[in-house]
Amino acid sequence: MNEPWTQDKEYIQYTLWFVYACIIYSVIGFTWGALMGGIADFRHFVDHRLHGNLIVRAHTHINLLGWVEMAIFAAVYYIIPRLVRRSIYSMKLVKAHFWIHNFGLIGMVVFFTAAGTIGGSASVSATPAQVEVLVKPYLATMGMFGTLVLLANLIWAYNLFRTCAGWRRNQ
């Protein structure tokens, strides 16, 4: 059987890059979680300071959108062409998906963490209203990066739909 995806080095490279990203994000996420759980002052900060819980959200997003989603993307990119017996619809979309998703995720994590750190630190001496003013632009920026992650996921869905559409013609 002709299986062009087994010869496409770029397809293999990007599928593996999703795996590598999964591994990197999992190590970061697991370490971050262990530090939050194991360091009492850190745990207290994220649990009891105003907006400190945003640091937990950053950790959650590293785990969910980083290691879990990247693993799913890699697996689906590997499985679908074999299942429908055709190459992925667009390698350009695979590349766009990879880079936009990673850029968006890293931005989300950075701005969630910054908002949590700034808000938690400011909450010692500032009023809740003053803390909100400080944190608001960071959360807005985080939302912009989150929109990039959504865009990347829509690119992924479209690429897979186009790959799968009409699969019976290849049977």
Would you state the pLDDT for residue 54?
92
Per residue in 38-75, pLDDT (tens digit) is 999 988 898 888 888 999 999 999 999 999 999 999 99
Question: Is 141 inside a domain boundary?
Answer: yes
Buried b (16+ CB within 10 A) or exposed e, 17-52: bbbebbeebbebbeebeeebeeeeeeeebbeebbbb
Residue 170 binned pLDDT confidence (cut-offs 50, 70, 90): low
Question: Is 158 inside a domain boundary?
Answer: yes
Question: Is 107 inside a domain boundary?
Answer: yes
- Give the range of the structural domain holding residue 95, as residue numbers without chain letter: 8-170
Q: Which of 66, 94, 79 is nearest to 10 (CA)?
A: 94
Per residue in 108-126, pLDDT (tens digit) is 999 999 999 999 999 999 9
What is the number of domains present in the chain?
A: 1
Question: Is 20 inside a domain boundary?
Answer: yes
Question: Is 126 inside a domain boundary?
Answer: yes
Question: Is 3 inside a domain boundary?
Answer: no
Question: Is 2 inside a domain boundary?
Answer: no
Q: Is 127 left (phi over 0), alpha (psi -120 to 50) or beta?
A: beta
Q: What gap in Å lies between CA 139 and CA 133, rounded to an integer?
A: 11
pTM exceeds 0.85 for this model:
yes
Question: Is 1 inside a domain boundary?
Answer: no
Residue 2 binned pLDDT confidence (cut-offs 50, 70, 90): low
